[in-house]
A and B are shown apart, each in its own frame.
Chain A
Amino acid sequence: MDVVIIVQLLVNGILLGGVYAMVAAGLALCFGVLGLLNLAHGSVLVLAAYAYQTLQATCPHGSAFGFLLIPCVFGVAGFVAFTALLGGPYRRSKEHCLTPALLITLGLALVLEELASILWGHSMAGVEGRLSPIEIGPLSLSGSRVLILIIMVMLSTALHIWLKYTDSGRCLRALAQDQVAATMVGISPVGTSALAFTIATGLSAMAGLFYVTLFTVTPHLGLPLTVKALFLIVVSGRGSLVAPLAGGLLLGVLETLVAGLMGASRASIIALAILLVCLCYRPGGLFSDGGLRKAG
């Protein structure tokens, strides 16, 4: 195999990693910072994908508008859902809400899945990607994936800055470190967590818009996507928001290289096996640095 193909595979692996990181970003914020395993993450992504497809069908030139509107609408819906369904358990203590939150978000996932089936009738969603490929010498890069990677790097940086340098971000980190102490100094656990959940839901929705541009979506894809995102977060290390980006890039590169060199049927299993072996040596996650609780 010539060098150009290997470079091409490497670059496309990095771009695929950007997509993985985008899919995992919302869950990373929820699980890594709030400690809330949101099983409805993938279903939000799927619902947003369908909403975007409908918007595209009714208003073909509304792509940019959709990218602003849909994450905002879903973010608000996330805030309402958190306040109404998860606020109660969170008021007691973060540690005690793990099981109720799991059950509530699982229920929410099933409801959202059914809602998508009712509204869109089991049909597959997919949106025509309109960005032309980028040709650099012998290399061909997908315009959409380059855009996703750029946005993902910007989002990760923005979230990192928010958590480290803003008051609300500090409140969230304080809450993540010690809920009792944070409450004693006047931080509202429900309000602060609701804010994080709102942003996480908006991120999941945004991931849905990108995902449906590159791939296809069915109403039942939600839980498999949640599992994939969860795997990525666990392998990368749940304490940081930059870790899923790094983990996504590594997984993307491994999958693409293995598929290109050894065949597509071996890609997932070999890439995941390599990551699992790595986990044996770094059980806290490959890119864990002690986590948000310490550094943000």
Chain B
Amino acid sequence: MKRRACLTALVGLAIVKILLLPEVGRSGSPEAIRLGATVSATGKYATEVGPFQRLFEAWVADVNHRGGIYLAHYHRKLPLQFATYDDRSDAATARRFCERLITVDRVNLIFGPYSSPLTFAASGAAEQHRVPFIAICANSPKIYERGFRWIVCVIDAAPRYTHRYWEMIQVEGKARSVAFVVEDSLHPVGVYEGSRELATKAGLQIAAAEVVPADTADFTPVVLKLKKLDPDILYVAANIPFAVAFMKQARELNLSPREFHCIHHSGIFRQPLGTAAEYVVGQSYWAPGMRYGNPERFLSLLKRAGIDLDAYPWAPAYMMAFEIAEEALSRAGTLDPEILMNTLRNLQVTTLGGPVWFGENGVGTINAYPSQIQKGTYQIIWPPEVATARHVYPTPPWQKR
């Protein structure tokens, strides 16, 4: 009886040991680099990043095809293992799955979810468990004002999101006034606050600023008010569904400023608007023809994942996050979270969108370029050294689009 009890205890101990140390092989080095992410495969952000699990998988397959990433501390290349969950575009769900990635999947590095509200929630789990966290499309200053140590972000802070646009407007000197329509949500409000300041510095008069609830369907009162004010630039700081609904109703009521600027004007923006999308100015992180990083590799990953760049314009930012992760892992040479995080914070790397490094608060340096929809294609219009077409201003009337 005693012998049987001892045997059971030994087997139990062995099982516990296996469960506690799943990532460590017999030699004492890990078997793989474990990465995790939540993707908004369903819910309101699915329209923007729905199929991005395939992009992650295509990247992981690409790295593993080349044998993995060499980590000097273990003297060998380690393959990537990737775990992902659908956060349903919900902040609480993103946070819960981020906890799960850390405690159950025991990941070494986390890629943040899409959007500022979800990243705000999910990054708390990474900070609490001290796991490196790369935020991608999440640039609300509120995320980075908390003094978190375990987060870096690929892109620049929201207030500077459209700084190149205002620079262009100032240099051109044609526009005199601007009115803002703002979706009441973390990222658009952050972009608006910065843009208002930048517009004032560029010498523009602020004709109006309407902060509208995110779930607004009918914009007629706002459109009528703006029609009377007749600003030169109508700046719509909003996510795509909001911007599309606003633009449709602007056209319905013949609101015709000299220029529409929608901070998000790509992806599914064009299809429901048809010709109403023509000449709208917005931001693009990358356009074919830009020569930073390895565009061929990016295009091949997109192809492998079956993702259309025009439909999913955030794909370049994700690619930059992959490049940052690869470089950080390679330079750190270990999966030790402290070393990996320090490497990330001090990293300087040239990515698809240009050089990236991180500020004291973790915010990155990648910024979008102003682009205009001209004959159905996105043309970078500023700065001149990157521009692929001339800025068309003022916009032709609705009937001539």
Contact = CB atoms under 8 A, between A and B. Distances in A.
A12 B184 CA distance: 23
Contacts of A123: 46-47, 50, 268, 311
B252 A117 contact: no
A16 B46 contact: no
Contacts of B268: 123-124
A215 B248 contact: yes
A125 B272 contact: yes
21 contacts: A5-B224, A16-B218, A16-B220, A122-B50, A123-B46, A123-B311, A126-B272, A127-B272, A128-B275, A135-B254, A140-B227, A140-B254, A142-B253, A145-B252, A214-B249, A215-B217, A216-B241, A257-B221, A259-B221, A265-B211, A265-B212
Interface in A9-57: 9, 12, 15-16, 19, 53
Contacts of A216: 241, 244-245, 248, 272
Contacts, number: 112
Nearest to A211: B217
A268 B212 CA distance: 11
A256 B225 CA distance: 12
Contacts of A69: none
**Chain B, interface SS category:** helix
Nearest to B228: A5
Given A125-B272, A256-B218, A218 B44 contact: yes
A260 interface: yes
B42 A117 contact: yes
Given A123-B268, A133-B254, A264 B213 contact: yes
Interface residues of B, number: 43
Interface string B217-252: 111111011011000000000001100110011011
Interface string A124-138: 111111001101000
Interface in B267-324: 268, 271-276, 311
A19 B221 CA distance: 15
A143 interface: yes
A144 interface: yes
Interface of A: 5, 8-9, 12, 15-16, 19, 53, 117, 121-129, 132-133, 135, 140-145, 214-216, 218, 220, 255-257, 259-260, 263-265, 267-268
Contacts of A126: 244-245, 248, 271-273
Contacts of B273: 126, 128
Contacts of B225: 5, 260
B366 interface: no
B244 A12 contact: no
Give me the 10 closest cross-chain CB pairs, A-B, nearest first. A126-B272, A128-B274, A122-B46, A260-B221, A259-B221, A142-B252, A264-B212, A12-B220, A133-B254, A122-B50
Contacts of A255: 218
Nearest to A264: B212
B224 A260 contact: yes
Contact of A122 (B41, B218, B271, B272): B41
Nearest to A135: B254
Nearest to A60: B274
A124 B240 contact: yes
B244 A124 contact: yes
Interface in B40-63: 41-44, 46-47, 50-51
Contacts of B210: 263-264
Interface string B142-158: 00000000000000000
B224 A129 contact: no
B342 interface: no
A34 to B, nearest CB: 28
Given A123-B268, A124-B47, A256-B221, A218 B241 contact: yes
A129 B24 CA distance: 59
A264 B184 CA distance: 11
B216 interface: yes
B134 to A, nearest CB: 24
Contacts of B221: 9, 12, 256-257, 259-260, 264, 267
Nearest to A140: B253
Given A122-B50, A264-B213, A256 B272 contact: no
A16 B252 CA distance: 13
Of A128, A220, A256, A267, chain B has the most CB atoms within 10 Å of the CB of: A128
A140 B241 CA distance: 24
Nearest to B242: A216
A125 B51 CA distance: 17
Contacts of B42: 117, 122, 220
A256 B220 contact: yes
A117 B46 CA distance: 10
Given A121-B50, A122-B41, 4 more contacts: A126-B248, A126-B271, A128-B248, A215-B245
Contacts of B253: 12, 133, 140-142
A126 B271 CA distance: 7
A229 to B, nearest CB: 13
Contact of B276 (A9, A128, A259): A128
B254 to A, nearest CB: 4
A264 B275 CA distance: 27
A129 B275 contact: no
A82 B206 CA distance: 56
A254 B244 CA distance: 24
A133 B397 CA distance: 13
B311 to A, nearest CB: 8
Nearest to B88: A220
Contact of A9 (B51, B224, B399): B224
A8 B218 CA distance: 15
Contacts of B311: 123
Nearest to B254: A133
Contacts of A268: 213
Contacts of B244: 124, 126, 216
Interface string B175-214: 0000000001000000000000000000000000011110
B47 A218 contact: yes
Nearest to B184: A265
Contacts of A125: 272
Contacts of A267: 221
B213 A265 contact: yes
Nearest to B272: A126
Contacts of B44: 218, 220
